[in-house]
Structure 1
Amino acid sequence: MYAPLEFEDAHYSQIEYQRKQQQYWDSIRLAIFTLAIVAIIGIAIGIVAHFVVEDDKSFYFLASYKVTNIKYRENYGIRTSREFAERSHQIERMMSRIFRRDFPGSSRFIKSHVIKISPDEHGVNILVVLMFRYPSTSSTAQIKKIIENTFYQSLKIKQLPLTISKPSFTLTSIDSKKMRNLLNSRCGIRMTPSNMPLPASSSTQRIVQGRQTAMEGEWPWQASLQLIGAGHQCGASLISNTWLLTAAHCFRRNKNSHQWIITFGTTIIPPAVKRNVGKIIIHEKYDNKTNEHDIALVQMTSRVEFSNVVQRVCLPDSSIKLRPKTSVFVTGFGSIVDDGPIQNNLRQARVETISTDVCNRKDVYDGMITSGMLCAGFMEGKVDACKGDSGGPLVYDNRDIWYLVGIVSWGQSCALPKKPGVYTRVTQYRAWIASKTGI
């Protein structure tokens, strides 16, 4: 049995003193803590108030001007041509130089997109969309004045690659709907739900052993090709408001267009948009034994309206050649392991192009790769398209404009070492596509 502890008076007094001293310092600490909490709350309220008052908003302008030191070329009128792409990039780079350097609040400038290059007696006319972010309290007239002043000042003091006629410059404020409609005239552009451009760097994940697509609008040309009553069978890529490209082998068992439907969106169920199929065109020389000419066109019974969720991809110029180890992306609803189930959510993979010489090595595909095929993946495997991704897009980014360079065709199993994915090489079929669709 434990007896109660006994203390001498002196010892007890010392303990009582220390307790009072401790209470004193506890009061001080409590006061300091309370003041700190009040200060933090005050700062937080200030930050919230700042963002409520100064919440950024997108502003869009349509700029038009004449360039006098270049001559018009016929291919400037073809938005998917190499000439249009290269000239547009030069113009967009120049606009970035004008508005990102020495511009009041230079971080306010987001991006520019060339909409049209048209002929002029003394050169070419340029039509370009400009995108800015400013506090929502800012007036459009005030922003327009800043943009105009900056533009005119740049013409005076900067050595620009293109000679711009100052009197020809006009600037018009447009709303997001008008901006979207203008961009819809261009292919291969991805937009976020907030109508802001989505940079190429946002897409890094894979299909096999990967994750779901991050947001709507990342791959707006991706479609799901489905048999009524049987569900998803293949992927497809939107190339106009009525036509899609896919693989011929998707129709081996059923070529009846009335039994197929097309859906768009990042999920199969529910779809964002749904359309019936009106026509299926399979390449006349398709060989299901060698997988040669594995390409087909699908026409919908009614057109789709372009939006952030549904957009067409660019078809590449037939002269485009991708070097080995070029980064490309493949997307689809296919399985993430060999013989696994179809995925309801769209997935994406970054892979690299592999030369035909390497792919035709005896230890890889032993001479089976023809000029109409393109290999992409990694020689060590691990990342690849898989069952259910057939017919889907392999796309290449050229200055934030996306081009369809391949169609998922065949491969040995999924993501095996020395067995990369094999794709139909789209550049080889540009004439065939044009002959059937006029695109």
Structure 2
Amino acid sequence: MMYAPVACQQDKYPQINYPRRQNQFWNPLRLAIFTVVIVIIIVIAIGIVARVVIADERTFYYLVTFKITNIKYKEKYGRKTSREFVERSRQIERMMSKIFRQSSHKGRYIKCHVIKLSPDKDGVKVLVLFLFRYPSSIGETRIKKKIGNTLYQALKNKNFSLAISNPSIKITPIDNMKTRDLLNSRCGIRTTASSLPLTLASTTDRIVMGTTAALTGEWPWQASLQLKDSGHQCGGSLISNTWIVTAAHCFQKTKNPTQWIVTFGTTIIPPLRKQNVDTIIVHEKYNNITHENDIALMQLAENVEYSNEIQRVCLPESYIKLPPHTSVFVTGFGSVVDDGPTQNVLHQARVEIISTDVCNRTDVYNGLIKKGMLCAGFMEGKVDACKGDSGGPLVYPDHHDIWYLIGIVSWGESCALPKRPGVYTQVTQYRNWINSKIGV
């Protein structure tokens, strides 16, 4: 049987319209705002926790000794700037970095420095300083155990080019003071107040178009050479606890050491330390017209004590040659504009090595760059050393942040002009001369 649909009367069954809730609490706008607030709270909470954790962290220092049995000791290992010491140290440091960065110490291992290579009947004895960053609560004994386990396991399971005797490994935790003393035994290390070596990242760009030195101890070998009655004249670089290397043209007024003083620190007034001068040695073949052999040495009346703020820079071996466009750094208290006043605060600048061929072009210095000279700057100018920076350091870091004196501020046409880069005395050409005078 089929049922026909029944029509309902509208007035009997009126349609009911339910009103919409126009003011719902969780509308899209409020939900988005609420979500953002929650995310911000979470981020702040994480930041607070991370800050507490980081604040609780400190640097742990360990002195590790071991014997390498598959190489023989070379006499040149005793000279820390020699090619042999540098290359062997780099090999050891790369090996150690690989071991610890692939271990449970990943993110906690900072770096290591080979302090000494010495002869041993079984090969070569190595002394290495390790730096780790851990929460203070862990304790140095527990970290020492982790270091030992990591070394033993790595040397047991992997093949390395250097054979290290496991029984010879000795690990000793040391404090900040001992660490600083050990770092002082190596040249070219820049340290903060906590003795943690600075990296290249801490350095910024000049002198003309540079910046003031950002951190105390960033350029610890920088010296200010001053005449007692005239103030700052030139810069210089500390190369031992007794000797400073500078430019010969700084002594055109007088070579009398009693008329000179040397100060250290990032400001001229007040100085960090003031020293009298005992001896001045100017290169015998210095030519003030051609600027050839523009190098001199100053001996301090008293030895300086190395610290975080006063350190010696490394002298490069004669074989070192930096390719064009290599970044190097120049520092000094000189003027920031051509013929401007001396600056009380140390300035720094990043410049680049320019090849002698380019520098001797007719549109640049037209053949005036002689053997023993080095050009650095930019062909477009703008960044350069200037008056008052003479004698100061041009330095570069190797792959392990060890800094070397590659040049001495010598001469240039005005300051920061296009196609007129700074000209420096090339230190590698004078290594034998320096060694013949002072044995360094």
TM-score (normalizing by structure 2): 0.89
- Amino acid corresponding to residue 310 of structure 2 in structure 1: V
- Amino acid corresponding to residue 156 of structure 1 in structure 2: K
Structure 1 counterpart of 2:341: 341
Contact 2:247 2:294 in 1 (8 A): yes
Question: Max radius of gyration: which structure?
Answer: 2
Structure 1 counterpart of 2:181: 181
Structure 1 counterpart of 2:284: 284
Contact 2:176 2:194 in 1 (8 A): no
Q: What secondary structure sits across from 1:197 in the alignment?
A: coil
Q: In structure 1, what is the Cα distance between the partners aligned to 2:325 and 2:407? A: 15
Q: Summarize deviations over 1:4-39 as a string: whole Å, max 9, x none.
A: xxxxxxxxxxxxxxxxx99x97xxx99x99999999
C-alpha spacing 1:51/1:80, structure 2 compared with 1 (3 Å): same
Structure 1 counterpart of 2:293: 293
Structure 1 counterpart of 2:423: 422
Contact 1:92 1:114 in 2 (8 A): yes
Contact 1:53 1:137 in 2 (8 A): no
C-alpha spacing 1:339/1:37, structure 2 compared with 1 (3 Å): same
Q: In structure 1, what is the Cα distance between the partners aligned to 2:86 and 2:197? A: 17
Alignment of 1:187-202 (within 5 A): 187-202=187-202
Q: In structure 1, what is the Cα distance between the partners aligned to 2:211 and 2:391? A: 20
Alignment of 1:310-329 (within 5 A): 310-329=310-329
Deviation at residue 402 of structure 1 after TM alignment: 1.0
Q: In structure 1, what is the Cα distance between the partners aligned to 2:281 and 2:149? A: 54
Alignment of 1:117-128 (within 5 A): 117-128=117-128
- Amino acid corresponding to residue 292 of structure 2 in structure 1: E
* Aligned length in residues: 419
Deviation at residue 324 of structure 1 after TM alignment: 2.0
Structure 1 counterpart of 2:135: 135
Deviation at residue 161 of structure 1 after TM alignment: 2.3
Structure 2 counterpart of 1:67: 68
Q: Summarize deviations over 1:126-165 as a string: whole Å, max 9, x none.
A: 1000000111112111111111111111112223221110
- RMSD after superposition: 2.6
Deviation at residue 108 of structure 1 after TM alignment: 0.8
Contact 2:204 2:211 in 1 (8 A): no
Deviation at residue 44 of structure 1 after TM alignment: 5.3
Q: What secondary structure sits across from 2:107 in the alignment?
A: helix
Structure 2 counterpart of 1:412: 413
Stretches of structure 2 that go unaligned for 5 or more consecutive residues are: 1-21
Alignment of 1:166-177 (within 5 A): 166-177=166-177
- Amino acid corresponding to residue 281 of structure 1 in structure 2: I
TM-score (normalizing by structure 1): 0.89
Q: In structure 2, what is the Cα distance between the partners aligned to 1:371 and 1:229? A: 35
C-alpha spacing 1:275/1:159, structure 2 compared with 1 (3 Å): same
Q: In structure 2, what is the Cα distance between the partners aligned to 1:211 and 1:139? A: 40
Structure 2 counterpart of 1:302: 302
Q: In structure 2, what is the Cα distance between the partners aligned to 1:256 and 1:416? A: 35
Q: In structure 1, what is the Cα distance between the partners aligned to 2:82 and 2:327? A: 21
Identical aligned residues as a percent:
64
Q: What secondary structure sits across from 1:357 in the alignment?
A: helix
**Mapped pair 1:91 → 2:89:** no
**Mapped pair 1:236 → 2:241:** no
Q: In structure 1, what is the Cα distance between the partners aligned to 2:295 and 2:218? A: 24
Q: What secondary structure sits across from 1:196 in the alignment?
A: coil
Q: Summarize deviations over 1:272-307 as a string: whole Å, max 9, x none.
A: 222111111111111111111111101111111111
Stretches of structure 1 that go unaligned for 5 or more consecutive residues are: 1-20
C-alpha spacing 1:61/1:362, structure 2 compared with 1 (3 Å): same
C-alpha spacing 1:146/1:412, structure 2 compared with 1 (3 Å): same
Q: In structure 1, what is the Cα distance between the partners aligned to 2:428 and 2:210? A: 29
Structure 2 counterpart of 1:357: 357
Q: Summarize deviations over 1:361-415 as a string: whole Å, max 9, x none.
A: 2221122111111111111211110011000001121121111111000000001
Q: In structure 1, what is the Cα distance between the partners aligned to 2:63 and 2:166? A: 16
